[in-house]
Structure 1
Amino acid sequence: MNRSSVIRRALLAAAAVALATGCTAQAAGSGGTAAPSSSPTSASSSPAPEPSDSASSAEPTETPSTDDEPSSSPTADAPAGKVLMKDGDENTQVRELQARLRQVGYFDRAPTGFYGTITGKAVSAFQKKRELPQTGSVDETTWQRLVAMTHEPTADELKPSTTNKLDTPDARCMTGRVLCISKESRTLAWMIDGKVVSSMDVRFGSENTPTREGIFNVDRKVRNDWSKLYHTPMPYSMYFSRGQAVHYSADFAARGYNGASHGCVNVRDRGKLSALFDQVRVGDKVVVHW
């Protein structure tokens, strides 16, 4: 009995040592000596390697992100507020923006109230001079800087008679109610009995689609027209020579004289043309001249 007990105790002790050695190898599974004896499942699910791997990979990841923060924070803070005005907007605040930009020499034409490419370039130039992000859109910081260095636009600054200087009216425009349109000065003057009531910039057709010259009459008016031929809107159309009309052009407002019409007389100041549209009657004279 004593001999059996001794043998049993010796076997139990040996088994305990073997079990302890197996656990140690599993826990240190990355050591590789016990890996062959471990099943793939137990090796992949071993919790020991995971903290070790995540700790070693986290350090280089955190370091660059910390280093990036100072260099990226000025860019994040630079816009300093939401965008107030941007390309495609058309309202009274845009007109004020253009008038203020004109005061400091960044906008060389009469305000139209339409935010197009010309206005965007003017804003970008203003931002560049003040070392602001050159977005071409007006954020709160850009607007505050511009307002601080300009005065509130007067009525004449917001709606000057025209950007282009009017030339001497054609003799045929001196009597009656006349849309007097000059290709030389690129202006339209609304005249009644020889007096200029209002005026605005205009754009004409290209060499391939010229605007006809001569004396005509307004034969019809369409407030919200659409060109079926060129698939483009033609607000405030006043037709005077077959398909040619005086009408508002968003393209003219956006690109200025970089483009041309297909023969119509384009107007870029929507507000002025809207008022003119309400005043002109069917039958009024139209004179297109050099």
Structure 2
Amino acid sequence: MKRITGRIARRAGIAAGLTSLVLPMTIALGAAPAQAASCNVTTGPYQKQVEKFLGRPVDGRQSLADCKAIQAFQAKHGITPAAGYAGTITWRTMNTMLQQRAAGTNPNKDRKCPTNKGRIACVDLTRQLTWIQDGARLKYGPVPVRTGKDGTETRTGAKKIYWRSINHWSTLYHVSMPYSQFFDGGQAFHSTTKSMWNPPGSGGCVNMTSRDAKVYWNLLRNGDDVFVYGRKPGT
């Protein structure tokens, strides 16, 4: 009887060991669906506008498919939290994109940027756009930019480029600022790897894609005019 009892105990111990191996695997496998289901399925205040922008059925009610589409947009442009909620920042970003598209090839239609200065770089903070014009003739752009956030806004008014540094390093923010062209104190045009629609914005500089910053570097010189106007949404 003792031998039988010992065998039963050993078998029970083996079974318990196998169970201890299986349970963590079950928990780990169960964690993935929970993480994948972290979409915010609450209807947001800008639900219809966001659905229309993304080409989703416009019914004003959040669905899991809506949420995943919004999440993808948020992740692409660094909007946090990327929970798929149709909130203020997400719609503000989309609305800015719509205004940029509407500008087309005539961004200075309202003549807010001076046309009597010759070569000039214009920055419209409201639409987050910049372009270079010669008189009234468009030379380059318009292209999207990422300007100063609330508290470190890009300053408005008439400026001039006074210093250029192609491989500039910021001692203030400890970041690389390629193709820097300074026009107002420490504020400059320069390239960045961030999305142009990444909130909340820069420390005051006019961020550009590498391609656009290179074109600006080749088209502008010290002494060229810069005109900044408007107000960035959210500032």
TM range (shorter): 0.5 to 0.7
- Structure with the bigger percentage of helix: 1
Deviations 1:125-165 (A, max 9, x none): 5xxxxxxxxxxxxxxxxxxxxxxxxxxxxxxxxxx994574
2:191 to 238, 241, 248: 248
The corresponding residue for 1:188 is 130
Distance 2:80 2:165 in 1: 29
Paired residue total: 180
2:15 to 55, 59, 72: 59
Q: Secondary structure at the match of 2:211?
A: helix
61-70 or 232-241: which moved more? 61-70
Cα 1:61–1:202 change in 2 (3 A) is same
Contact persistence 1:237–1:247 (CA under 8 A): yes
Question: Which residues of structure 2 form unaligned runs of 5+?
Answer: 37-52, 57-68, 85-97, 231-235
Contact persistence 2:148–2:201 (CA under 8 A): no
Q: Secondary structure at the match of 2:173?
A: coil
Larger radius of gyration: 1
Deviations 1:88-128 (A, max 9, x none): xxxxxxxxxxxxxx764647xxx9xx95523993xx75xxx
1:285 to 216, 219, 225: 225
Distance 2:121 2:197 in 1: 24
Question: Which residues of structure 1 form unaligned runs of 5+?
Answer: 1-26, 32-48, 80-101, 126-159
Q: What's the TM-score, normalizing by structure 2? A: 0.55
Distance 2:143 2:32 in 1: 41
164-173 or 276-285: which moved more? 164-173
Cα 1:59–1:71 change in 2 (3 A) is same
Deviations 1:26-79 (A, max 9, x none): x95898xxxxxxxxxxxxxxxxx5x65442122244357289669939959xx9
Taking every aligned residue pair, what percent have the same amino acid on both sides? 21
Distance 1:195 1:69 in 2: 66
Distance 1:194 1:209 in 2: 31
1:1-290 alignment runs, 5 A limit: 28=2, 53-62=9-18, 65=22, 72=29, 75=32, 104=55, 106=69, 115-118=76-79, 121=82, 125=84, 162=100, 165=103, 166=107, 168-173=110-115, 175-196=117-138, 197-206=140-149, 208-250=151-193, 253=196, 255-256=198-199, 258-261=200-203, 263-267=204-208, 269-290=209-230
Contact persistence 1:164–1:201 (CA under 8 A): no
Higher relative contact order (CA 8 A, sep 6+): 2
Deviations 1:170-201 (A, max 9, x none): 35145522111123333211223323321222
Q: CA deviation at 1:274?
A: 3.0
Distance 2:26 2:169 in 1: 52
Contact persistence 1:118–1:255 (CA under 8 A): yes
Question: CA RMSD for the aligned pairs?
Answer: 4.5
Cα 1:199–1:71 change in 2 (3 A) is same
